[in-house]
Amino acid sequence: MTTPPPTAAPTVAPAATPVPEGTGLRLLPGARLGSRAADGSRTLTGYGADRVLRLVPRAAGIVAGLPALVEDPVGRRLARTLLDAGVAEPWWPDAPPGDDTVADVTVVVPVHDRPDELARLLSALPRGLPVVVVDDASADPGAVATVAAAHGARLLRHAVNRGPAAARNTGLAAVTTPLVAFVDSDVVPDPGWLGTLRRHLDDPLVAVAAPRVLALAGAPSAGRLARWVAAYETDRSSLDLGARAAQVRPRAPVSYVPSACWLARVGALGGGFAEELRSGEDVDLVWRLVAGGWRVRYEPAARVRHDHRAGPAAWLRRKAFYGGSAADLARRHGDAVAPVVLTPWAAVTALALLAQRRWSLPVAGAAWGTAIVVLARRLPGERPTADAAVLATRGLGAVLTQIAASLTRHHWPLAVLAATRSRRARRAVLVAALGEGLWDHHRVGATQPRAAYVVAHRLDDLAYGAGVWVGVARARSPRALLPVLLRRPSR
The pLDDT of residue 6 is 46
Report which secondary-structure segment, H or E, holds 302.
strand 295-306
Is 114 contained in some domain? yes
- Are residues 384 and 442 both part of a single domain? yes
CA distance 111 to 208: 21
- Are residues 111 and 68 both part of a single domain? no
Q: What's the mean per-residue pLDDT of the chain?
A: 90
CATH number of the domain bearing residue 270 = 3.90.550.10
Is 326 contained in some domain? no
Last residue of a domain, one of 41, 72, 91: 91
What average pLDDT does this structure show over 308-319?
88
Is 5 contained in some domain? no
Residue 421 amino acid letter: R
Contact present, 231 and 184 (Cβ < 8 Å): no
CA distance 391 to 385: 10
CA distance 30 to 27: 8
Contact present, 60 and 40 (Cβ < 8 Å): yes
Read off the pLDDT of residues 270-291 as tens digits, 9 standing for 90 and up.
999 999 998 999 999 999 999 9
User: Three-state SS for 415?
Assistant: helix
Per-residue pLDDT band at 9 (split at 50, 70, 90): low
- Are residues 148 and 279 both part of a single domain? yes
Is 420 contained in some domain? yes
Q: What are phi and psi of 122, to 5 degrees?
A: -60, -30
- Are residues 122 and 271 both part of a single domain? yes
Is 358 contained in some domain? yes
Last residue of a domain, one of 260, 288, 308: 308
Last residue of a domain, one of 45, 68, 91: 91
Strands 105-111 and 131-136, by their bridges, are: parallel
- Are residues 33 and 137 both part of a single domain? no
Per-residue pLDDT band at 246 (split at 50, 70, 90): very high
- Are residues 150 and 292 both part of a single domain? yes
Is 319 contained in some domain? no
Strands 179-183 and 42-45, by their bridges, are: unpaired
Is 190 contained in some domain? yes
Please name the residues in contact with 109: beta carbons below 8 A apart, sequence gap of 6 or more. 118, 121, 122, 131, 132, 133, 134, 153, 171, 183, 184, 185
- Are residues 376 and 428 both part of a single domain? yes
pLDDT at 49 over 90: no
The strand ranges marked E within 121-216 are 131-136, 154-158, 179-183, 187-189, 206-215
Going from the C-alpha of 232 to that of each of 51, 171, 187, 225, 404, the distances in angstroms are: 33, 33, 18, 11, 20
CA distance 339 to 220: 35
Percent of the chain with pLDDT over 70: 94
Alpha helices per DSSP H over 379-479: 384-405, 412-419, 423-444, 450-475
- Are residues 109 and 83 both part of a single domain? no
Please name the residues in contact with 290: beta carbons below 8 A apart, sequence gap of 6 or more. 248, 249, 250, 296
pTM for this predicted structure: 0.91
The pLDDT of residue 46 is 77
Read off the pLDDT of residues 445-463 as tens digits, 9 standing for 90 and up.
999 999 999 999 999 999 9
Percent of the chain with pLDDT over 90: 70
Structural domain count, the chain = 3
- Are residues 151 and 226 both part of a single domain? yes
- Are residues 118 and 249 both part of a single domain? yes
Contact present, 142 and 174 (Cβ < 8 Å): no
What distance, in Å, lies between the first and last C-alpha atoms of the chain? 38
Minimal CA–CA distance to 106: which of 174, 157, 177?
Answer: 177
- Are residues 68 and 189 both part of a single domain? no
Is 314 contained in some domain? no
Q: The domain containing residue 431 runs over which residues?
A: 341-485
Q: ω into residue 67 within 30 of 0, thus cis?
A: yes
pLDDT at 302 over 50: yes
- Are residues 474 and 418 both part of a single domain? yes
Please name the residues in contact with 310: beta carbons below 8 A apart, sequence gap of 6 or more. 221, 226, 227, 229, 230, 233
